[in-house]
Structure 1
Amino acid sequence: MEKPRKSVRRKGRGVTIDEVATLAGVSPMTVSRVMNNQGKVRDTTRERVLQAVRELDYTPNLAASSLAAAQHTRIALVYNNPSGAYLREMLVGLLRVASRTSIQLVIDYWEHTDADAERKAARAMAGKVDGVILPPPVCESHAAVGEFVRAGIPVVAIAAGRSSDEISCVRIDDLRAGKELADYLITRGHTRIGFIKGRPDLSASARRYEGFQTAMFEAGLPIDASLVQQGDYTYRSGLKTGEKILAHKRPPTAIIASNDDMAAAVVSVAHRRGLDVPRDLSVVGFDDSSSATTVWPELTTIHQPIASMANAAIDVLLRTIRRKDRSTRVLVDQVVPHRLVVRGSVGAPGKSG
């Protein structure tokens, strides 16, 4: 009687990348980077992976490489933005493109603000993703950006106020947009205009205020420093700064807020003080987020195409990740068009009582 043959596993055919990763004590993505010679991997880690490959006689499935490249591309969105409306717009754009490109979208919230914590978080994330999208304020973190760059992880900043020599950017021209807002109010006859700044640590905030200053200077109009207040992009800061400006003995006839959340708060303060918008006070915002159309009257604002910018950021990342030559970094500074959206929150100062 013939003895039954033992089942023998054929090396190199049944072995998966997950088994190699388990044996080497790393992630499947790290194994993929070693096998494709992509990204930065420590020499000791690379040797562990190659040793596991030799022990298991692992051979990559080249026939499935194209599909795997798409399915195993992990892109992270790291956020710490106080504006829920802004974040919703960005997620819409990211989820839309993720659903049709087979990428895996990782969303991570960082509540820490010190450099060491951000550096550690970036270092931990670098070993798990292929690319990173950084909206404000995280895009201004030198600690996080530096860590990702050292790890060889492509990064795209969304809505940074300026270009970068370290990472790619998708942004609008904030200075020009800020100037257009002020110019519009000036053409409507406003000469005494208040301004609520965004976060002081963000370049986009500074650029929007510079645009306001430029418009006022070109029009020969003075800027009353007491009508310029520091906000932080939150609705609450809009309430606080709006109260300060409108309590002035000579309040302005118009207020520019650096985002729609703060502008909506100013409208609320005006109503509480018995002022009519826009008859007694004109208010404009920035971003054209959902906050702009959930107040009455709806806000005149700058439309920043946040969802489209998120879409463009993923496109930049995918083209970077899938480049065959990764020995040199190619940075993209994509300035997308914005537009002034005129709604009902602006009137002529002559109508005020």
Structure 2
Amino acid sequence: MPRRRQAVTIRHVAADAGVSLQTVSRVINKEANVRPEMMDRVRASIDKLGYVPSIAAQRMGGSRSYLIVALNDRDRTIADWRNRQGADWVDQMMLGGMLTCADHGYRLIVELVDTHSDHIARELMGAIAALQPDGVILTPPHSDNPQITDLLEAQGISFARIGSPKPGPGFAVAMDDAGAARLATEHLLALGHRRIGFIAGPPDYELSGWRIDGWQAAMAAAGLETESLLLRGDFGYASGREAATGLLASADPPTAIIASNDQMALATMEVARERGLAVPDALSVVSFDDTPIVRFVRPPLTAIVQPIADMTARAVELVIAEKAGRPTSPDPVIFSATLVVRGSTGRPGDRR
């Protein structure tokens, strides 16, 4: 039987270069306090031996763990996975987070935490004790949960709040949700719509309120009322069906509906079909998220595109910079939304 090739470790590199383990670790971590000739010697040994740095080797250089933990909502994430209805929010978060972490020699780990749990503090402290991360990325609704943010602040852990631009501890990185809703509403107003319904998300997501604000502001600027045009869902398909049914069954139904995520928008289109309302001839529909599925339905959905990967990448950069002692700004980082116009919106038509 052939002998298994022994893995090259940081100790082999240190012995080959004639330096300490800590020096090798500092070179791996691209720290500034290593003499150029020493750095060249270590890199030459790394190349010669084919060494691949590990998290354990990186940790030897100091107090950093080189791990960033992203906390996502357990209940909704698992429900989407089990129903095979997953939006690509988590995928885009991992895209931006993992690539940026890799650029800095870090690793990203995703943990699912139930924000409604009575034991959230114990659950979160267990994850922190096990992983000892250098920083934490919070996603909605965790980014709005003071129990979580206060705990992280008390522990002295650097963290960023995605989707939460309000003042508070940690770095705030968010999309302009109010501006996004205004953008969607103004698109429909420009097409000639005057009765524009809105299906909002649940109140435990603060961004739900900001989107309502943006929609109402655009309608008010056009001199239009919003009474009886607002219903809430929970970001799930069933809640979208219920809200769309309520709006379309009213005495003076909307000619257009903005839904706060893709599942609720798809449910709206289904309800419209059941009621014999062609999209967009009799009803225009706009969505948030722009997950892949909305491009393949008929007609394809006009949608607000959320820069999730870019927001997560920036959040990771801020957390790593703070851990490294580099200067950072406390000001919120706000990303503008974009609207992709597709076949689900058009001028108000015949409501036969």
Instruction: Determine which of 54, 58, 61 is the counterpart of 2:22.
Output: 61
Tell me the secondary structure at the aligned position of residue 88 of structure 1.
Answer: helix
Answer with 1 or 2: which has the greater Rg: 1
Instruction: Determine which of 78, 101, 104 is the counterpart of 1:101.
Output: 104
Matches within 5 A, 1:257-296: 257-296=259-298
**Root-mean-square deviation over aligned CA pairs:** 2.4
Q: 1:50-104: CA deviations, max 9, x gaps?
A: xxxxxxxxx9724423525884411001101456212222222223333443312
How far apart, in 2, do the equivalents of 1:202 and 1:113 lie? 12
Q: Which residue of 2 aligns with 1:169?
A: 172
Q: Which residue of 2 aligns with 1:344?
A: 343
Q: Per-residue deviation at 1:209? A: 0.5
Distance 1:184 1:64, change over 3 A: same
**Matching of residue 237 in structure 1 with residue 235 in structure 2:** no
* Corresponding letter in the other structure for 2:207: A
Q: Per-residue deviation at 1:173? A: 1.2
Q: TM-score, normalised by structure 1?
A: 0.76
**Matching of residue 136 in structure 1 with residue 129 in structure 2:** no
How far apart, in 1, do the equivalents of 2:304 and 2:274 lie? 25
Q: Which residue of 1 aligns with 2:198?
A: 195
Matches within 5 A, 1:14-53: none
Unaligned ranges ≥5, structure 1: 1-13, 15-58
Q: Which residue of 1 aligns with 2:249?
A: 247
* Corresponding letter in the other structure for 2:197: G
Identity of aligned residues (%): 33
Tell me the secondary structure at the aligned position of residue 204 of structure 1.
Answer: helix
Q: Which residue of 1 aligns with 2:5?
A: none
2:115–2:141 CA contact under 8 A, matched in 1: no
Distance 1:294 1:142, change over 3 A: farther
Q: Per-residue deviation at 1:335? A: 0.9
How far apart, in 2, do the equivalents of 1:209 and 1:105 lie? 33
1:93–1:307 CA contact under 8 A, matched in 2: yes
Q: Which residue of 2 aligns with 1:184?
A: 187
How far apart, in 1, do the equivalents of 2:246 and 2:351 lie? 20
Distance 1:256 1:143, change over 3 A: same
How far apart, in 2, do the equivalents of 1:213 and 1:342 lie? 21
Q: Which residue of 2 aligns with 1:323?
A: 325
Tell me the secondary structure at the aligned position of residue 165 of structure 1.
Answer: coil
1:126–1:153 CA contact under 8 A, matched in 2: no
Distance 1:273 1:352, change over 3 A: closer
How far apart, in 1, do the equivalents of 2:304 and 2:115 lie? 30
Q: Which residue of 2 aligns with 1:40?
A: none
Q: Which residue of 2 aligns with 1:44?
A: none
How far apart, in 1, do the equivalents of 2:240 and 2:293 lie? 13
* Corresponding letter in the other structure for 1:133: I
Instruction: Determine which of 146, 149, 156 is the counterpart of 2:153.
Output: 149
* Corresponding letter in the other structure for 1:76: V
**Matching of residue 297 in structure 1 with residue 299 in structure 2:** yes
* Corresponding letter in the other structure for 2:142: V
2:98–2:107 CA contact under 8 A, matched in 1: no
Q: Per-residue deviation at 1:263? A: 0.9
* Corresponding letter in the other structure for 2:153: V
Q: Which residue of 2 aligns with 1:311?
A: 313
1:283–1:346 CA contact under 8 A, matched in 2: yes
Report which stretch shifted further, 186-195 or 103-112: 103-112
Instruction: Determine which of 47, 54, 67 is the counterpart of 1:74.
Output: 67
**Matching of residue 333 in structure 1 with residue 332 in structure 2:** yes
Q: Which residue of 1 aligns with 2:61?
A: none
Unaligned ranges ≥5, structure 2: 1-10, 12-19, 31-54, 59-64, 81-85
How far apart, in 2, do the equivalents of 1:177 and 1:93 lie? 21
* Corresponding letter in the other structure for 1:174: D
Instruction: Determine which of 205, 209, 213 is the counterpart of 1:206.
Output: 209
2:153–2:169 CA contact under 8 A, matched in 1: yes
How far apart, in 1, do the equivalents of 2:248 and 2:191 lie? 20
Q: 1:90-122: CA deviations, max 9, x gaps?
A: 2222233334433121111113513x4222222
Tell me the secondary structure at the aligned position of residue 133 of structure 1.
Answer: strand
Tell me the secondary structure at the aligned position of residue 107 of structure 1.
Answer: strand
